[in-house]
Structure 1
Amino acid sequence: MKLALGSDHAGFTHKEMLRSWLQEQGYEVQDFGTHSADSMDYPDVAHPLSAAVAAGEPARGILLCGSANGVCITANKHAGVRAALAWLPEIAALARQHNDANVVCIPARYVSEEQTREIASIFLNTAFEGGRHQNRVGKINC
């Protein structure tokens, strides 16, 4: 599976760890940056990543920033993107099962690297349940 990955400076260390780990798991990772811990503006990464996911290539993305709020808000400006902020694996699972989230936003300042890997793994390996949730997801776009 091809996967989009991006972060701001606050999520850079976690992103780099996650990129290597995902590649070891067999994922083809498209890294949208940032490429250093130097201060930068999170929309400069979140917009291009979200545009790619909205276009369906790749089908899913992972964004990281300090709180994950900024990247999540930015990602959700793109029609077709359903970005969910997840700080626990259970939240990531529900975002996939009930909301068909295609971008997960992880708060790097509030989760460990181990938790980041677990959240990403759950997000990538949990299926959308469809059924009654499909009707709800169908009502999201304006």
Structure 2
Amino acid sequence: MVPGAEHVMRGEAVDCAYAIARPAANGCMARSPPLSHSIQHCNVHPQPGGRQCALLKKEQPMKVALGADHAGYPLKSAVREAIEALGHEVIDCGTHSCDPVDFPDITRTTCEVVLSGSADRAVLVCGTGQGAVMAANKLPGVRCGLAHEPFSAHQAVEHDDANAIAIGAWLVPHALVPDIVREFLGAVFDDDEETRRRVAKLNALDALTPAP
């Protein structure tokens, strides 16, 4: 994190306490502030499976579905605390102990809360995050990114309109959890021509069926 930065976002200068490196249009690394405001859904760009694009709405708390399997359970409380510290509401989708459970079941239960409109976004926690990502992205209308550090957490939303992230409890230190959660929940879809085109192509993949 770099102290002292000023970033021009959509023609408006925004001062921030620190900045995060992100690719610029010329391929170099530019600096942009973490996005600390919440989002709400709108009807400008409806998506398949009940998905709707995220547009910036300041000072609006979100409902966040949180699910973890037994491997992710040891990190779950840290994730919950990070979400609630930002003023958001947690919808707890389990599990509630280290007793073995199947990650596809937890993932589906958690993501369906988002698809139904009862939650704005989802955070999934398993051992490495890999199983949760695979399960989540099989659900039409869910776009889940793997976020083991803050950059990926906000980039998944800004460029790919992700409505879920997966975190690996075996890989992510507790101290990094608040940064990851903040960047994910504060990020906003870029919503320009290129990102809309690419996300539309992602949505179209939901309609594919396996070859006979």
Larger Rg: 2
- Quote the Cα distance in structure 1 between the aligned partners of 2:63 and 2:162: 16
Worse-superposed segment, 83-92 or 20-29: 20-29
1:13 aligns with 2:74: yes
Q: Which residue number corresponds to residue 86 of structure 2?
A: 25
Question: Normalized per residue, which structure has more strand?
Answer: 2
Q: Which residue number corresponds to residue 201 of structure 2?
A: 139
- Quote the Cα distance in structure 2 between the aligned partners of 1:24 and 1:124: 12
**2:63/2:88 contact within 8 Å kept:** yes
Normalised TM-score (structure 1): 0.94
SS at match of 2:71: helix
1:104 pairs with 146, 165, 175, which one?
165
1:118 pairs with 159, 164, 179, which one?
179
Q: Which residue number corresponds to residue 2 of structure 1?
A: 63
- Quote the Cα distance in structure 2 between the aligned partners of 1:51 and 1:77: 12
Q: Aligned AA for 2:63?
A: K
2:153 pairs with 92, 95, 98, which one?
92
* Unaligned ranges ≥5, structure 2: 1-61, 208-212
The offset of 1:20, in angstroms, is 2.7
- Quote the Cα distance in structure 2 between the aligned partners of 1:7 and 1:67: 11
**2:144/2:165 contact within 8 Å kept:** yes
Closer, same or farther: CA 8–99 of 1 in aligned 2, 3 Å: same
Work out which structure has the larger RCO, using CA pairs closer than 8 Å and 6 or more positions apart in sequence.
Answer: 1
- Quote the Cα distance in structure 2 between the aligned partners of 1:140 and 1:54: 16
Q: Which residue number corresponds to residue 79 of structure 1?
A: 140
The offset of 1:59, in angstroms, is 1.5
Q: Which residue number corresponds to residue 114 of structure 2?
A: 53
Closer, same or farther: CA 116–21 of 1 in aligned 2, 3 Å: closer
Aligned length: 142
Extract structure 1 runs of 4+ deviating beyond 4 A: none
Normalised TM-score (structure 2): 0.64
SS at match of 2:182: helix
Question: Could you say what the CA RMSD is over the residues aligned between the two structures, in angstroms?
Answer: 1.1
